[in-house]
């Protein structure tokens, strides 16, 4: 099943929100003040975390850890679903929930690790009249960045594949 899961299953539920914020952006946590206007950029964050070991995006928190809140928090889950449906394949498993912190609305997006097929960011571009080209690009989280990965790294992400023996 892809898309929004009915039950939140946050991978760092033993940590409190203040502890996560104090630790800052990391291999598993990304802070965004809002959903970026560039939908492809948001899809990169989600697929990179899913192609790693999973992770959490906190909307309403600046990268510095400053709490800014999300003015349209109730709209965020719908926006996330639309972006992931339109710009990822397969759609990552995720859950979302709104919480209040320091009087501000924060949305927690928990992206699960891929299961069988790594997630690609997808988009279409018009080539000529009526013709479109669909692009698929794979990303993986490296430290606090999204890195584009190539064919060999994609192959290694497949569960049945292991490092060739020397």
Report long-range pairs for 130-138 (Cβ below 8 Å, ≥24 apart): 136/89, 138/47, 138/51
Q: What average pLDDT score do residues 109-117 get?
A: 92
Q: Where are the alpha helices (DSSP H) in the chain?
A: 17-23, 39-50, 76-87, 151-157
Per-residue pLDDT reduced to its tens digit, 51-82: 999 999 999 999 999 999 999 999 999 999 99
Are the beta carbons of 62 and 33 closer than 8 angstroms? Answer: yes
Q: What is the pLDDT of residue 69?
A: 96
Angle formed by the axes of helices 39-50 and 76-87, nearest 10°: 80
Q: Name every residue whose Cβ is closer than 8 Å to that of residue 89 and which is 6 or more positions away in sequence.
A: 119, 120, 122, 136
In the chain, where the domains are located: 3-157
pLDDT exceeds 80 at position 161: no
Q: What is the pTM of this model?
A: 0.85
Return the residue matching tokens 């023996």: 165
Give me the phi and psi of 22, to 5 degrees please: -65, -35
Tally of CB atoms within 10 A around 144:
14
Which of the following CATH numbers is that of domain 3-157: 3.30.950, 1.20.120, 3.30.420, 3.40.50? 3.30.950
pLDDT exceeds 80 at position 13: no
Q: Name every residue whose Cβ is closer than 8 Å to that of residue 5 and which is 6 or more positions away in sequence.
A: 93, 94, 95, 112
> Any idea what DSSP says for residue 151?
H
Query: Residue 124, class by beta-carbon neighbours within 10 Å (0-12 exposed, 13-18 middle, 19+ buried)?
Result: exposed
What is the DSSP secondary-structure string of 46-114? Answer: HHHHHTTT-EEEEETB-TTS-B---TTTTTHHHHHHHHHHHHEESPPEEEEEEEEETTEEEEEEEEPPP
């Amino acid at each position: 099943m892809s898309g929004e899961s009915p039950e939140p299953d946050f991978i760092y539920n033993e940590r409190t929100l203040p502890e996560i914020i104090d630790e800052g952006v990391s291999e598993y946590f990304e802070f965004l003040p809002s959903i970026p206007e560039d939908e492809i950029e948001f899809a990169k964050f989600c697929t990179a975390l899913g192609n790693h070991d999973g992770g959490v995006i906190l909307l309403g928190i600046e990268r510095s850890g400053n709490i800014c809140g999300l003015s349209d928090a109730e709209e965020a889950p719908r926006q996330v679903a639309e972006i992931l449906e339109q710009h990822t394949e397969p759609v990552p498993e995720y859950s979302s929930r709104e919480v209040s912190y320091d009087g501000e609305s924060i949305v927690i997006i928990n992206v699960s690790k891929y299961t069988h097929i790594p997630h690609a960011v997808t988009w279409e571009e018009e080539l000529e009249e009526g013709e479109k080209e669909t692009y698929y690009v794979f990303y993986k989280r490296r430290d606090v960045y999204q890195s584009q990965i190539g064919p060999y790294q994609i192959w290694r992400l497949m569960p049945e594949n292991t490092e060739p023996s020397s």
